[in-house]
Amino acid sequence: MKRILEPELMDTPEAAAEYNALAHAEVNRLFAQDFLAFAQQAYANDLDAVAWNVLDVGTGTALLPIELCKINSDVNVVAIDDAVSMLDLAIYNLEAAGMRERIALAKVDAKAMPYDDNSIEMVIANSIHHHIPDPQVCFAEIVRVTEDDGILFARDLARPDDEQAIDALVKRYVAKESTESQRLFAQSLRASLTVDDVADIVESLGFERSSVSMTSDRHWTWAAVKEVVG
């Protein structure tokens, strides 16, 4: 099925509250564990030199970096989003979790980040690319700011083949959520990229297509190390 775009920003208090109330815990835990495992494997020969400074692109209400910091006590995160309503709830979540010292929030557009080239050790992105009309711009920005030999780790929903597959995923994962949450999940699936879409983008940016894979029945993951050029 063709991609059907959804709004780029969920920037109303109602939308942010609906998003924050969804059952993110298991998805965030798996993302954090998979990211840390990939980074530890990539840096296996030099783990003592790792600073564990992470940029979380499209953090929403900061539930993912909170989970990441709970799992690994060495991690510190700059968590960015362009939606003020999301960041307002993120402040509350950080306070409740006692993470204000380890997670910094910033209002930043992922398509034009104010960070220097090759300046960030690790960059993660969870469920942002399906919001972006031209996701290649966001991928390119993530690559640009990541330092040489740095970690890039992104995950998002994968667009199903048809409406029947979307209906099945909605019933499997959000049947107990509100009608609005079910609608938003279906809308996000329609707006998402396929594995081939993502592989085409990262290949154009100099990465192997094999760095992208389906990692659940509804998610693709891109895991890569930025190689030194020249």
Give mean pLDDT, residues 83-103: 96
Q: Which pLDDT value is given to residue 10? A: 76
Taken as a whole, the chain contains a residue count of 230
Give mean pLDDT, residues 210-225: 98
Query: Residues 113-161: pLDDT tens digits?
Result: 999 999 999 999 999 999 999 999 999 999 999 999 999 999 999 999 9
- Dmax (CA) of the chain: 53
DSSP lists the bridge partners of residue 106 as 80
Cβ atoms < 10 Å from Cβ of 188? 18
The helix/strand/coil state of 206 is coil
Sequence-distant (≥ 6) Cβ neighbours of residue 184 within 8 angstroms: 18, 19
Q: Which pLDDT value is given to residue 229? A: 62
Q: Chain centroid to CA 146: how far?
A: 15
Q: Which pLDDT value is given to residue 230? A: 52
Q: Which pLDDT value is given to residue 45? A: 87
pLDDT at 228 over 60: yes
Mean pLDDT of the chain: 94
Query: Residues 8-42: pLDDT tens digits?
Result: 777 788 888 888 887 679 999 999 999 999 999 99
Cβ atoms < 10 Å from Cβ of 5? 12
Report in angstroms the alpha-carbon separations of 12 from 19, 26, 73, 96: 11, 25, 33, 22
Q: Residue for token digits 């993951």? A: 221
Residues 160, 163, 165, 166, Cα dihedral to 10°: 80
